[in-house]
Structure 1
Amino acid sequence: MSPDWGPVVVAVVLFILLSPGLLFQVPARSRVMEFGNMATSGISILVHAVLFFCVLTILVVAIGIHIHVN
């Protein structure tokens, strides 16, 4: 039986995409959402962590993404 790399790949991709300030930041300093500002705050880190956990749970548990490499 080969190991399941699906959760690892999904977690790495989501970690990169949901890094606060890289693509977007919720909440931003002056608006609700800003794109590509490369700045962050404590509340923004919390919001992005909750988004990461929710999306990861949906993709890995509910949808069941599996990648098996022989």
Structure 2
Amino acid sequence: MTEHQPVTLYSGPITCLERDCDEYFTDNGEDANVDCCSHVTTEQACRECSTELPDETFDPAVPWPCPHPA
């Protein structure tokens, strides 16, 4: 049996998810050392109860904390 564990899901424009947004870079073009730009949102889901698709997205995503008993 697999444990119920949280997984972070990211959503936003594809350019932002691929780190091609201007916010990932300084004015000099160097890495700005940020985890996500302001266009990306995150949410926690239960890895065990959510369905992972071949493209590594989850649909449907069961929110974390998981409502199902362990």
TM over 0.5: no
Select the structure with the greater relative contact order (CA < 8 A; seq sep ≥ 6): 1
Give the strand-richer structure, 1 or 2. 2
When Rg is computed on C-alpha atoms for both structures, the one with the higher figure is 2
